Structure 1
Amino acid sequence: MHEQNTDEASERDRAQSLLSATEASDAKQVSEILDPLPFSEALREVLLLPQDERDTVFQIVPVQLAAELIGEAPNDLAVELVERLDPDRAAIILEKLGSDVQADVISELGEADAEAILSEMDEDDAADVRRLSAYEDGTAGGLMMSEVFKFSVKETVGKVLRDFASADDDFERYRGQHPYITDDEGRPVGVVSLRGLLTAKRSEPLSAIMVAPITAHVDMLLEDLEDLFEEHPFLGIPVIDASGVLVGVVSRSAVASAVLERAETESLKRQGVVGDELRSMPVWLRSRRRLAWLSTNILLNIIAASVISAYEQTLSAVIALAVFLPMVSDMSGCSGNQAVGVTMRELSLGLVKPIDAFRVWVKEISVGVINGITLGIMIGLVAWIWKDNPALGLVIGAALALNTMLAVSIGGVVPLVLKRIGQDPAAASGPLLTTITDMAGFFFVLSFATLMMPWLI
């Protein structure tokens, strides 16, 4: 406990020192505080500052440090940090980042802000960013970086090794790529391993030691890229355009990050968080995003509550039903969410399409019947023993069984239907499932109880 208190006191002192140094625009002291920290921790310290002081940090710290902090930030936050900078400062910082990160940030800026920054960048770098920004998100083109470790097929092993020795610092940006070999038109014709370069004779042409490359087209989708990296143990795969020309490299880490980001985004959408919300964002923006979900949810819950209202007499006569109503809706909802999760995964992997809705329903209802009957028997026995009323057990058990079957049917099929009509299944499946399972669960319990009233009271 003492050690924890000491760490917390140290963090508070560091935060106060950073604030004081920033207010004084003391670039040297700010750098001395942030430099020793891991980039994630340094970014956290900066985000704890008031907005004006946060802007000051990115204006006064060394360009490389500012670039590392922006590169560490989630994309929405990186965009916010960049758009608050002067265009010339933003351009200098972005040029220290990979072309893939540059394109991600620039593509999210307003047109005027983006052009102001691009006009300050090196002409070739700006052209690369414009080209990369034109590709769709979730494709090889949208994920690749334009920096490619490539050599002409006419060059020798010795030439490549001499380039290594004379410009080793420049190779850091290639992030572990193997050298790709291109023909006179820029098409990839081979790839060589670093081990092969070191063991070959210096006079040998690259064509003698290269092997045929595995390539990805710029339009290849994320799920296909994921499969490609699972099949091959490469750190990067060269990306070609419609003419077969080498235009970039997509890395294993970029694909893994995109897969994780997509899963997190879909999970947040199901919970009503739209976009990559961070608590460092403006309060009104965060509030507006959440209210878009919550205000809709009020209407959906009113619909569910209206079912209870229609059966007030039954509920008043058999108070024990109130204990089991939330259990029926919650357990059914859990079953439905499992079905939603499987369908969303298969959609992202390209394993199902909207046309497969009936086949998906057959698969889900098969599981739903088994699980519904099993869960119905279990909760029915609990209700019978707890309240010493077999009729109550029958009502609750039958309601849960039917609602579970309904829930998995909705959970499995609704995302496909939403996809078919052009709606976002990740954002809309959750509220629809919750409302329908709540409403149906209440209806099943209360209507069965009304029919069984003579045996319940």
Structure 2
Amino acid sequence: MDTPQPETTLPPEDRPAESAEQLAEELSELVRTGGDDDLSQYIEWLEPREAARAVCELSDEDEVRLLERLVPQQASDLLIDVPEVEAIEAVAALPPETSAAILQQMPSNKQADLVAALAEEDADAILAEMNPTEAIKLQQLASYDPDTAGGLMQTEVVAFRENSTVEQILERMRGDAGRFRQLDIQYAYVVARGRKLVGVLRLRDLLLADDTATAGELMIEDPIALDVETPIAELDEFFDDHAFLGVPVVGAEGRLLGVVTRAAVDEQGQSNAERDYRRAMGVVQEEIRTMPTLKRSRLRLSWLSVNILLNVVAASVIAGFQSTLEQVIALAVFLPIISDMSGCSGNQAVAVSMRELSLGLIEPRELWRVWRKEATVGVLNGLALGALLGAVGWWYAGNPWLGLVVAVALGANTVVAVLIGSSLPLILKARGVDPALASGPILTTVTDMCGFFLVLGLATLMLSYLA
């Protein structure tokens, strides 16, 4: 009896564009009722972004079935295209032997990223299914800080001994052409005993040389290499200064460990910027809308519930000056303005400090220098913003004293906000707390409290001129 097939068997270019839900429905139907060849062909037909969207919309059960039925290489390509949070959950849900087979088809740096993100028991189960030598290498690679050359490098490199002849090298490369083709190589590396890096071999020189020439004769000696612990800020600066696609990474005694590419550094830098922005906005972990609703709700509430408590603390300042507010009701109009403007000024200072920390331009111990630099900007901006809001307050209430109160309050709170905003990331970094995660709510609470206190405190002192 024939197995029913989905109605749509045309490649995407031959049919109208569909939503992710429609693509997922077709893919789900194929997973449940189609043959392996049909399923593989359907994935090939889809653009990588379309395939990723469709997979994210699948149920957990269908996603596992899909990855189990695809050949490891195709499943690997698919997981590289989906968001990392989705890939991690998929790898954890698969049988360890299936996950191991899929991971082994990925570049080593992608393997390490996934293994490092898995729960320890899941990672151990997958590593146990791999070749022991490869598992040890992967475990070591996953142990490097992701923001260092070691954490970003690929261990797949083309390396030859000094005494290898051109004929031997070309024969080896042709015999393993499939693997070398995947590496997108521009250079080969020459190593001595103990895999010590001693030179770089340009492929152009290799192709034009006599068959009897050796790698040692053709290589460029004393090649540029980076230490495995080189931080991402230095990697970024290195690739700005050098027009290289990649650079070798070495460990102790100059041992060649891998290659870090410009593309990997750029991708990590963008990922870090997105992570910092996400955390500053209160999204503590990476989130996509195909994740379970309760899980997404729990992740967001962990941030929002803390903010409720902090806002209650800030609002308690207003409660303490309730009688002043009742007599000068116009102040209620300016409280959110002062709070918001001060918060904006403080967030600008936070952003600059976060950027300088990521580039290695400042250290937590340089707090006093940061304060001096930021205080000048805070005073200038405070004077300008205070004068503008003071004029608005005078015009709105027809009372110059009200204008003076809101002007002084905003000006002073702007200075406070930039001083706190510039120093918070440094203080939190020194205490081992993620600055991107904690700076926002702390800054908002402090600036709100100071702003409310300054406005209502000054108004109380000058109540006879305002009421």
Which TM-score applies when normalising by structure 1? 0.93
Q: Which residue of 2 aligns with 1:207?
A: 216
Deviations 1:56-100 (A, max 9, x none): 111112322211111123333222110111112111111110111
Q: Which residue of 2 aligns with 1:304?
A: 314
For 1:434 and 1:265, the matched residues in 2 are separated by 20
* 2:258 maps to which of 223, 231, 248: 248
* Counterpart check, 1:451 vs 2:461: yes
Q: Which residue of 1 aligns with 2:188?
A: 179
For 1:10 and 1:40, the matched residues in 2 are separated by 12
For 2:336 and 2:63, the matched residues in 1 are separated by 46
Give the CA deviation at 1:326.
1.0
Q: Which residue of 1 aligns with 2:10?
A: none
Mean Cα deviation higher: 358-367 or 306-315: 306-315
SS across alignment from 1:279: coil
- Pair 93,371 (structure 1): closer, same or farther in 2 beyond 3 Å: same
Q: Is the 8 A contact 2:155 2:258 kept in 1?
A: yes
Q: Is the 8 A contact 1:147 1:173 kept in 2?
A: no
For 1:70 and 1:10, the matched residues in 2 are separated by 20
- Pair 83,199 (structure 1): closer, same or farther in 2 beyond 3 Å: same
Deviations 1:185-204 (A, max 9, x none): 31111112233334444443
Give the CA deviation at 1:298.
0.9
Q: Is the 8 A contact 1:31 1:61 kept in 2?
A: yes
* Counterpart check, 1:428 vs 2:435: no
For 1:398 and 1:244, the matched residues in 2 are separated by 61
* Counterpart check, 1:321 vs 2:321: no
Q: Which residue of 2 aligns with 1:78?
A: 87
* Counterpart check, 1:195 vs 2:204: yes
For 2:436 and 2:83, the matched residues in 1 are separated by 20
Q: Which residue of 1 aligns with 2:406?
A: 396
One-letter amino acid of the structure 2 residue matched with residue 72 of structure 1 = D
* 1:135 maps to which of 129, 144, 159: 144
Percent identity for Structure 1 against Structure 2: 44
For 2:18 and 2:121, the matched residues in 1 are separated by 44
Mean Cα deviation higher: 130-139 or 194-203: 194-203
- Pair 177,280 (structure 1): closer, same or farther in 2 beyond 3 Å: farther
Give the CA deviation at 1:408.
0.3
Q: Is the 8 A contact 2:149 2:230 kept in 1?
A: yes
Q: Is the 8 A contact 2:186 2:202 kept in 1?
A: no
Give the CA deviation at 1:114.
2.0
For 1:317 and 1:424, the matched residues in 2 are separated by 43
Mean Cα deviation higher: 363-372 or 87-96: 87-96
Give the CA deviation at 1:273.
1.2
Q: Is the 8 A contact 2:53 2:82 kept in 1?
A: no
For 1:92 and 1:38, the matched residues in 2 are separated by 24
Deviations 1:23-79 (A, max 9, x none): 325433333332122222201101112221122111112322211111123333222
CA RMSD, Structure 1 to Structure 2 (Å): 2.0
Q: Which residue of 2 aligns with 1:98?
A: 107
- Pair 12,424 (structure 1): closer, same or farther in 2 beyond 3 Å: closer
Superposed, 1:326-337 pairs within 5 Å as 326-337=336-347
For 2:174 and 2:242, the matched residues in 1 are separated by 29
Give the CA deviation at 1:328.
0.8
One-letter amino acid of the structure 1 residue matched with residue 404 of structure 2 = L
Mean Cα deviation higher: 326-335 or 375-384: 375-384
* Counterpart check, 1:64 vs 2:73: yes
One-letter amino acid of the structure 1 residue matched with residue 431 of structure 2 = I
One-letter amino acid of the structure 2 residue matched with residue 431 of structure 1 = P
Mean Cα deviation higher: 277-286 or 249-258: 277-286
SS across alignment from 2:253: coil
* 2:52 maps to which of 20, 40, 43: 43
For 1:130 and 1:417, the matched residues in 2 are separated by 33
For 2:253 and 2:141, the matched residues in 1 are separated by 17
One-letter amino acid of the structure 1 residue matched with residue 51 of structure 2 = A
Give the CA deviation at 1:136.
2.5
Deviations 1:314-336 (A, max 9, x none): 22222222221111111111111
* Counterpart check, 1:18 vs 2:27: yes
Q: Which residue of 1 aligns with 2:303?
A: 293
One-letter amino acid of the structure 2 residue matched with residue 214 of structure 1 = I
Mean Cα deviation higher: 241-250 or 15-24: 15-24
Give the CA deviation at 1:12.
5.6
For 1:445 and 1:354, the matched residues in 2 are separated by 32
For 1:334 and 1:280, the matched residues in 2 are separated by 33
One-letter amino acid of the structure 2 residue matched with residue 44 of structure 1 = R
SS across alignment from 2:160: strand
One-letter amino acid of the structure 1 residue matched with residue 56 of structure 2 = L
Give the CA deviation at 1:11.
5.9
For 2:241 and 2:264, the matched residues in 1 are separated by 16
For 1:319 and 1:223, the matched residues in 2 are separated by 51
Q: Which residue of 1 aligns with 2:155?
A: 146
Q: Is the 8 A contact 1:67 1:94 kept in 2?
A: yes
Q: Is the 8 A contact 2:20 2:50 kept in 1?
A: no
Residue segments in structure 1 that go unaligned for 5+ positions in a row = 1-5
Deviations 1:290-315 (A, max 9, x none): 22211111110001111111111222
Q: Is the 8 A contact 2:20 2:53 kept in 1?
A: no
Q: Is the 8 A contact 2:48 2:78 kept in 1?
A: yes
Deviations 1:253-277 (A, max 9, x none): 1111111111111111111111222
Deviations 1:219-245 (A, max 9, x none): 121212222222212111111111221
Give the CA deviation at 1:9.
5.3
Q: Which residue of 1 aligns with 2:271?
A: 261
Q: Which residue of 2 aligns with 1:356?
A: 366
Q: Is the 8 A contact 1:155 1:206 kept in 2?
A: yes
Q: Is the 8 A contact 2:20 2:54 kept in 1?
A: no
Q: Which residue of 2 aligns with 1:114?
A: 123
Give the CA deviation at 1:154.
1.7
Deviations 1:123-142 (A, max 9, x none): 43223212212223322112
Q: Which residue of 1 aligns with 2:7?
A: none
For 1:300 and 1:319, the matched residues in 2 are separated by 25
SS across alignment from 2:199: strand
Residue segments in structure 2 that go unaligned for 5+ positions in a row = 1-14
- Pair 348,8 (structure 1): closer, same or farther in 2 beyond 3 Å: same
- Pair 260,12 (structure 1): closer, same or farther in 2 beyond 3 Å: closer
Mean Cα deviation higher: 434-443 or 17-26: 17-26
One-letter amino acid of the structure 2 residue matched with residue 127 of structure 1 = I
For 1:26 and 1:350, the matched residues in 2 are separated by 54
One-letter amino acid of the structure 1 residue matched with residue 270 of structure 2 = L
